Structure 1
Amino acid sequence: MPQIPTMQQDNQIIAKSENPDPAALGKESSLILEHTEDPSGYSREGLEGRYLDLKDEALSLRRLLGLNPKTGKTTEGGSYATPGGFLRKQKVAVFVDVQNMYHSAKNIYGRSLSFAKMLRECVRTRQLVRSIAYVIDHEGVDQTKFLKSLGYIGCEIRHREVMKRNDGTKKAEWEVGIAVDMLRIAEKVDVVILASGNGAFADMIPLIQAKGVRVECCAFKGSVGWHLENMVDQCHFLTQEHLYRKG
C-alpha cells in the first residue's frame, strides 16, 4: 500500500497579483506577425507599437495565470511556465464528503462511485499533496473493504460514529469538521477541492478564497446546491464514466 500523502511544510500563502478582465482574453488579436509575413512592409513605429502591445498582453496573461508579472516565472520553484506547467505546480488538497458522494451516485445512477476516478478527474495534472475522506461509521455495517480501497488511493480517513439523541433519533454529520480542515489547510496549498454537493458549504467558500486560494467543487450535476455551484471557482461534474459498472 502506498504511503498516505502528508502536508508539505510550506506555510507561505500564495501571493496573487490583481487579475485582468478574463473577457479580454477571448478577443482575437492580430498583434503577432505570421511566420510567412514580411516585416519589411511595416514601419519601425508600427513594429514598435506591436511590440508594446504584446508586452502589455503578456503582462496581463502572467497575472491571470498567477505568474511573476515581470519574469514570467512561477511563484514557487523559479521555473518558467510551459503549456500546462503552471497547473502541474499547483498544490491541491481534496476533501471528500464520502456520505454525500456515495449516496449521490446511488440516487442518480443506482451505481457506486469510483473514488479513484473521481480524484483523477478533479486533480488532473496537478500535485495532490493531501486527500482526506470523511466517513460515517454505521453500527453493524462492515466497511473494511471500502476503507482499504480509500487508503489504497492515498486517502487519509477520518471517522465519525452515529450519535443517538435523547429523543431516540440518530445524527451523524461531518460539515463542521470538513469546514475546519479546509480553512486550516487552505493556507498551505494553492487549490482546495471539495468533493460534495452539499450546499451547506457555500457560505465558507469566500473565507477560503480570501486567503488567495482557488476553491473547486467535484460532484454530480444533479446533486450540487445552486449556491455552492455559484460560489466556487470551478465545478468538476462527474458522470457515469466515473462509476463502477455494477453496484
Structure 2
Amino acid sequence: MTEIHSDQRVAMLVDAQNLYHTAQSLHSRNIDYSSLLEKGVQDRKLTRAIAYVIRADSPEEESFFDALVDIGFETKIKDIKTFADGSKKADWDVGMSLDAVTLANHIDTLVLCTGDGDFSRLCSHLRHEGVRVEVMAFESSTADELIEAADSFLDLGERHETFLL
C-alpha cells in the first residue's frame, strides 16, 4: 500500500452529519474543520476536500456552509426529506462512495471522515485499487469493520484540543 510522502495526492471526504452528531452526543462540542483538514492532509498535496452536508432549514446552517468553503472545502448540499409519517432522512453514503471511486484514479490517498460502517466495503475496494485509505472519526462510535478496512485510523476523540471547538 502507498506510504505517506510529500508528493502524495490526497482527497478528503467528510460526512459532516456523522461527525456533527457524534461530536454533539459524546462531547457537546463542534468539529474544528480547519484542524480536521490540516491534520488530514499532513503537508501532502490536496486534490479535493469535499464536505457533504444536509440542509435542514436551521438558522445557522448557511453560515456553516460558507465557513466550510472559506476553510477550503467544496460543499455538497442535500435537502432533508420528510416523509408522510413525519420521519426524516438524508444521507450521502452513495454520493460519497461514487465520488471516492471517481477520484481514485487521481489520488494516492483518500481521507474518509466518518464512522459509518457502510463505508468499509468502499475502503476495501479503494485499497484493492492501490489507494491508501485513512479514516478520521470518533472511535467510540466508529464501526469496527470500517477501522479494520482502512490503512490507518485516527481517533478524533483522543485529541479534543485539536479537533473540537
Q: Provide TM-score, normalisation by structure 2.
A: 0.92
Q: 1:19-73: CA deviations, max 9, x gaps?
A: 7xxxxxxxxxxxxxxxxxxxxxxxxxxxxxxxxxxxxxxxxxxxx85xxxxxxxx
Q: Distance in 2 between matches of 1:205 and 1:243?
A: 25
Q: Distance in 1 between matches of 2:87 and 2:148?
A: 34
Change (3 A) 1:129 1:179: same
Which structure features the higher share of strand residues?
2
Q: 1:138-194: CA deviations, max 9, x gaps?
A: 034431221121011110000101112243322111111111111111111000111
2:59 matches 1:173: no
Larger Rg: 1
**Equivalences for residues 1-247 of structure 1 within 5 A:** 87-238=5-156, 239-241=159-161, 242-244=163-165
The number of residues matched between the two structures is: 162
The answer as to whether partners of 1:122 and 1:236 remain within 8 angstroms in 2 is no
Q: Distance in 2 between matches of 1:216 and 1:140?
A: 31
Q: Provide TM-score, normalisation by structure 1.
A: 0.62
Q: Distance in 2 between matches of 1:223 and 1:163?
A: 25
RMSD: 1.6
Q: Distance in 1 between matches of 2:127 and 2:54?
A: 28
Secondary structure at the counterpart of residue 107 of structure 1: helix
Q: Which residue type is aligned with residue 62 of structure 2? A: T
Q: Which residue type is aligned with residue 27 of structure 2? A: Y
C-alpha displacement of 1:116: 0.6
Identical-pair percentage: 33
Match of 1:54 in 2: none
Greater length-normalized contact order (CA 8 Å, ≥ 6 residues apart): 2
Secondary structure at the counterpart of residue 5 of structure 2: helix
The answer as to whether partners of 1:190 and 1:213 remain within 8 angstroms in 2 is yes
Which structure features the higher share of helix residues?
2
- Structure 1, unmatched stretches of 5+, are 1-18, 20-63, 66-85
Q: Distance in 1 between matches of 2:149 and 2:54?
A: 27
Q: Which residue type is aligned with residue 175 of structure 1? A: D
- Structure 2, unmatched stretches of 5+, are none
